[in-house]
Amino acid sequence: MKNLAVFVSGSGSNLQAIIDAVDRGFIKAKLALVVSDNEKAYALERARKKNIDTFYFNPKKYKNRPAYESLITAELSKRKIDFIALAGFMRILSSEFTAKYKNRIINIHPALLPSFPGQRALKDALDYGVKYAGVTVHFVDEGVDSGPVIMQDIEPVRNEDTQESLLDRIHKIEHRLYPEAIRLLVEGRLVVEGRKVKIE
């Protein structure tokens, strides 16, 4: 059985979708660790309810990124983590970290990359006036939201949409797409060839 870690910063609705998918045997992995940079993240509560190990670090307490990343790496090694899913983790990982887990870290992003990378993607897309919003699941490389694309899906923007109403529909897509991508990842069915990801 492969070991999975999920990194979070916020409410953790995607973490919940992953927990549920593991519970029903859709994702064939052990959810062995949840890592958070935010002590108040509701995601931590969701993990604790399921007796999943959690690791919280306060980034402000360390002098630089390598200092806290080495602690994270130790926690991951202790549990023999094979794969990492970032689920609303609002922090950039160093190139050393992403290299160590090359093709083993994925992220979910609430926009159709390469449009609207960064932390306010949904607002940026709405403000821009796009007619189609969407979701991207991608491998994490040393850049910001720049790794090879695994899956995407689109959601039409309606005239009356607010950030909240659109986010609601984007979340529904995310909660379907992310467990599917993680399932393929842990089953070794994602083959990366340059920028292309083939599903086998």
List residues with catalytic annotation. Answer: 109
Half-sphere exposure of 78 (CA within 13 A, CB side): 11
The distance of closest approach from Cβ of residue 122 to ligand GAR in the complex, given in angstroms and rounded to an integer, is 7
> Which stretches of 116-190 are DSSP H helices?
121-128, 163-186
Residues pairing with 34 in the sheet: 6, 54
Closer CB to ligand GAR, 97 or 188, in the complex: 97
Please report how close the Cβ of residue 162 comes to ligand GAR at its closest, in angstroms. 15
Residue 77 CB, nearest approach to ligand GAR (Å):
25
Question: Minimum Å distance from CB 108 to ligand GAR?
Answer: 5
Task: Calculate ∠ Cα 112-116-122, nearest 5°.
Answer: 80
Q: Which is nearer to ligand GAR, 109 or 193 (CB)?
A: 109
Of 92, 100, 97, nearest to 117 (Cα)?
92
User: CA–CA separation, 170 vs 21, rounded Å?
Assistant: 18
Chain residues that interact with ligand GAR, rule: CB under 6 A: 10-14, 43, 87-88, 108-110, 119, 121, 174
Considering beta carbons, is residue 132 or 188 the nearer one to ligand GAR? 132
Nearer to ligand GAR, 127 or 188 (CB): 127
Q: Which pairing describes strands 105-109 and 132-139: parallel, antiparallel, or unpaired?
A: antiparallel
